[in-house]
Amino acid sequence: PPGRIERVMEATTMEPAVSEPSEEAKREAEENKAKANAYIKDKKYALAVDFYTKAIALNPHNHVFYGNRSLANIRLENYGSAIIDADACIGINPKYVKAYYRRADANLALGKLKQALLDFRRASKYAPSDPDLKRKLQQCEKAVRVLQFEKALATPQEEIVPEYSKICVEDIIVEDSFDGCRMSTGDDGKEVVTLDFVMAMIEDFKQGKKLHKRYSYAIILQVLDLLQLLPNVVHVEIPEGGKFTVCGDVHGQFFDFLNIFELNGYPSAENPYLFNGDFVDRGSWSAEVI
């Protein structure tokens, strides 16, 4: 939300205002930084973040700790945290070129091309002969030009026809040879999602089978119809004595996702869930939770 990141940034950049740490604290902070650097080399980025954080707690005056933690957060794809750390680093040492570079990398990953370009240009002033920086700057300038060109050629919003509106599920044939679960049809002849179908689909997925694309389209289009009827913010009433389960991030790992239901029961009107987090992954047995 507007203001939240600014408050976090303010809190982070104000840390160096504390009293000067003792020599022993500085020495211990450097030891934690050395451990974190080793974890970076071993690609154990979460551990690196932990040890940089310990170093910062001991000596919040050292801009390098923030800059290095920014890099570790980029490797973890925690781009928002990387930007906050880069801001804190620059607040302590405005001439630390790596902080601009890392903030630019994070903004580039988030698609914030103009902010990224601004920082790449700032960094290039301090390190004009850095070949990697030159390459990144040229890459970002090209992406900004492409974006501006696409905007110039863009179709007016009122003329855009969504791709999903062109899909005719009824024209997609389910082959007789298809051995996966099948959706039943309602009185209107359209596929309906039933509990029996969902349980059969889960068992198919456990065996490595795939859902037929006709049923995939049918489910997604029906979900789209439901979501378009809902407001942006939905208020949920929890009856006295009832419960409401909020799930964090499972990164789309299918069997971890199912384990939630094994422990806590399947979703129902009496056992509602809120899935809050990244439920998509690119790894083995990855799934997208709608």
Return d(Cα 68, Cα 33) in angstroms, integer. 9
Instruction: Report CA-CA distances (Å) from 225 to 177, 229, 237.
Output: 31, 7, 23
DSSP-derived secondary structure letter, 201: H
pLDDT digits (tens, 9 = 90+) for 125-147: 887 888 887 888 888 888 888 87
Q: Which residues of the chain have pLDDT under 70?
A: 1-18, 150, 153-155, 157-160, 250-252, 277-290
> Which among 195, 192, 186 is positioned nearest to 225, based on CA atoms?
192
State how far the alpha carbon of 107 is from the alpha carbons of 7, 52, 83, 191, 284, in Å: 19, 22, 8, 43, 28
Kindly report, residue by residue over 198-231, the tens digit of the pLDDT: 999 999 999 989 999 999 999 999 989 888 898 8
Helix (H) or strand (E) holding 247: strand 245-247
Strand partners, 192: 184
247 Cβ contact partners less than 8 Å away, ≥ 6 residues apart: 260, 273, 274, 275, 276, 277
> What global pTM score does this model have?
0.49
In this structure, the number of other CB atoms found within 10 A of the CB of residue 56 comes to: 23
* Confidence at residue 211, expressed as pLDDT on a 0 to 100 scale: 93
Q: Cβ(106)–Cβ(140) under 8 Å?
A: no
Give the pLDDT confidence score for residue 157 in this predicted structure.
63
Q: Can you give the pLDDT at residue 280?
A: 57
Distance CA 289, CA 275 (A): 9
**pLDDT value of position 89:** 95
Report the Cα–Cα distance between both ends of the chain, in Å, rounded: 24
Strand 245-247 and strand 273-275: the pairing is parallel
